[in-house]
Amino acid sequence: MSIATRNEAVDRPATIAALCWLGTATAYLVAETIAARAFRDYSYQTNFISDLGIPYQTVSGGRAIDSPLAWVMNAGFLVQALFFASAALAIGRALPVRGKAYGLFLGAALADATGLILISVFHSGAREVANGQIVWHTIGAGLSILGGNLVAISSGFALRPLGMPRFYKPAGIAFGLFGIGSIAWLMVGPKVIPDGLVERASVYSITAWELMTAALLLRNRGGRP
């Protein structure tokens, strides 16, 4: 196989993966912004992200919920799931060898996507608390946050054959540990930082990793041996 052919075999799936990770980050940020603007008195500090996806007026955790564009947020979750899973599968085609690290990476990515689907279908309002469906929302949130941050942590090992820059592995580990640490803080830490900010830190760490990875993959096109 010639160098040009080999580069094309790597570049094409890597580019698809990069565009999918760019798409999932964009879908989340755009959906969140649109839904939050329609939500009266929505606060990024005190409200949770899932408040935006509750499709009826209610009270959740003492917070008044009225999200007229909840469907936008829930559609955003579904688009994220599609793009995130597609990216993880596509990048596997770019790897000359798919070892255990990629297996962990892919499993975590599929867990993230599954979680996003669950939170788009099962909401976190009073009705779900009453009928028990809140369990599925909680499972979905856990899968998404833990899965996405584990993707970041494992990415430097899984994508090593692609010649990522030296800083990529420690950056991914830092993003992932920060995200997991944030959700742990939300659950058991002292309430010195608003809950909404702490929850967002656990999600934005994944978004930051997506954007970093997409940018590096697109920059590296054609530059691999």
pLDDT per 10-residue tile (average), the chain, 225 residues:
52 94 98 97 95 94 93 98 98 90 97 98 95 97 98 96 94 98 93 94 98 94 52
Residue-level pLDDT at 39: 96
Residue-level pLDDT at 214: 97
**Rounded CA gap, 81 and 101, in Å?**
21
Which CA distances in Å does 191 have to 48, 93, 181, 195, 196?
Answer: 15, 44, 14, 7, 11
Residue-level pLDDT at 85: 98
Give the bridge partners for 60, in sequence order: 63
* CA neighbor of 80 nearest in space, from 138, 137, 124, 145: 145
Residue-level pLDDT at 7: 64
Residue-level pLDDT at 222: 54
**Rounded CA gap, 105 and 151, in Å?**
5
Residue-level pLDDT at 21: 98
How does strand 63-65 pair with strand 58-60? antiparallel
Residue-level pLDDT at 1: 42
201 class by beta-carbon count within 10 Å (0-12 exposed, 13-18 middle, 19+ buried):
middle
**Rounded CA gap, 79 and 24, in Å?**
7
Residue-level pLDDT at 225: 41
Residue 133 in 3-state DSSP?
A: coil
pTM for the whole structure: 0.92
**Rounded CA gap, 220 and 19, in Å?**
13
